[in-house]
Amino acid sequence: MRFLILTLAAGLMACATGGAEPGADEIGATPFNVERGTALPPPAPAGGSSAPPEGRASGGIDFGQWRSADPVAYAASFQAQIRQRFNDGRDAARIRADLEANGFACEDSQRLDCRIEIMERQCAIDWYVVVERGRPEPVVGFDKMCLGAN
């Protein structure tokens, strides 16, 4: 009986002290920085575009009712509108100025690449116009990709 009481008492003491679990000083150096409040802040969100208006933008491009439009039909219509708008032989600098007046962000390195990229609800939406040197008409598109079921 005495043995049983001693065994139970030893077991109870082991549970109360954490048993064989090593303490922080027994583990050694930790790979994690322990200085609180010194972490760098998360990166600022990228300066994305703002959503174009539904209808005509101040620069004259008609974005239509893009929020409720069928993406396939809308993309074809948007492409036709932009190609018609720039079929007058404008140079890349004038096309860039026109697109930027309509809310596009452009960069010109090997080609003129202008985009409006937004996130709305769970959808990434992208309008783009790419003018390649030596190509008679711009590459124009509209993409909408949504996460989850819609």
Side chain identity, residue 150? N
**Over residues 42-65, mean pLDDT:** 79
What number is the average pLDDT over the span 18-41?
A: 56
Question: Is residue 102 assigned to a domain?
Answer: yes
Does residue 2 surpass a pLDDT of 90? no
Asked if residue 123 is part of any domain, the answer here is yes
Average pLDDT over residues 30-56: 65
What average pLDDT does this structure show over 25-30?
A: 59
Q: Is the residue at 92 inside a domain?
A: yes
Tell me if 58 is assigned to some domain: no
pLDDT at 12 over 90: no
Which band of pLDDT confidence, cut at 50, 70 and 90, is reported for residue 134? Answer: confident
Judge whether 84 lies within some domain. Answer: yes
Cα-Cα end-to-end distance for the chain: 71
Long-range interactions of 89-94: CB distance < 8 A, separation 24+? 92/131, 92/133
Q: Express each pLDDT in 107-133 by its tens digit.
A: 988 899 999 999 998 999 999 999 998
Q: pLDDT tier at 73 (50, 70, 90 boundaries)?
A: very high
| Count of structural domains within the chain | 1
Torsion sign (Cα): 33, 36, 39, 44: positive
Range of the domain at 81: 76-146
Residue 24 within a domain: no
121 assigned to some structural domain: yes
pLDDT at 44: 45
Question: Is residue 46 assigned to a domain?
Answer: no
Whether residue 100 has pLDDT greater than 80? yes
